[in-house]
Amino acid sequence: MRNLTVGRVITYAVLIIAAIAVIFPVYYVIAGSIMSPGQISSYPPDLFPHGLFTGNYQGATSTTAIGRQYLNSVLQTSVITLSQLITSVLAAYAFVFMKMWGRTVLFGLFLGTLMVPWESIVLPNYLTITGWSVGGERLTASYAGTMVALVLPFLANAFGVFLLRQSFLQFPTELRDAATIDGCGHWRFIRQILLPLNKPALMAVGLYVFLAAWNQFFWPLLIGDNASRRTLQIGISQLNDVEAADPGLILAGVTLSILPTLAIVIFGQRFIVRGLTAGAIR
């Protein structure tokens, strides 16, 4: 067992304090969501629930269309995550394994899109999408069109391409040459050889995209034309305007929102770390 020095004790103390400061807000959101209104408003505030009070969740789901908005968030996040994984894999494969003129310059221009602020293109995206029509109706005229409008600007992203390209660069060229000699085509090579050997990077991209899509607020607020066509994050903000801003309802809505992301971060953090460091060492 290592001897505890003064410096080590101080380091552990600082880390414990930092961990408490990060974990406590999450704990209190979950604990407050099952507290009664009287317990939440008590002074000094209670840190532990005295029982299991489900009225906050019942009120949150009955006062707004949060159930429908939850489904919208799940559908939107799933489509965006799957689409970005597919487009990132194909683009990264092209940049690494397919010989073409100006590949390096093209990749640099591709990465340049990461430097464009979202705020500078949100208005052109909005005017473009709402100006299109499907079956004679504008995209915001039906539920299906609204979902298209929600996901369309986020079907591809340069960050996933960059991360997967760095991972694919670690792939042995000899194995790729051997597969080509054996008659392995592009699709078969990607499906049976490349992707199984790059699972950490794929998981990292998928988790990153999922968290970013799940927590979107401004675009769903802008493009959704009514409460039932918006996402969970919008529904939580609407809870602030009902029942005289009952904190129990807000905490219940926030708990519903953070549970999926919390589970993903807890069970998938090792894939995030391994994926983000895939191209760090050669």
- Residue-wise pLDDT for 13-61, tens only, equals 999 999 899 889 888 888 888 888 788 877 787 888 887 887 888 877 7
Return the domain boundaries, the chain.
74-229+265-276
Alpha carbon distance 280, 261 (integer Å): 26
88-97, 188-197, 217-226, 243-252: which has the minimum mean pLDDT? Answer: 243-252
Fold of 74-229+265-276: MetI-like fold (1.10.3720)
- As a three-state string, the secondary structure of 205-258 is HHHHHHHHHHCCCHHHHHHCCCHHHCCHHHHHHHHCCCCCCCHHHHHHHHHHHH
Q: What is the pLDDT of residues 180-222, one digit of tens each?
A: 888 888 888 888 888 888 888 888 888 889 989 998 888 888 8
C-alpha separations of 53 from 32, 37, 171, 189, 248 in Å? 10, 9, 53, 54, 10
Identity of the residue numbered 163:
L
Q: What is the pLDDT of residue 18?
A: 93
What's the whole-model pTM score?
0.82
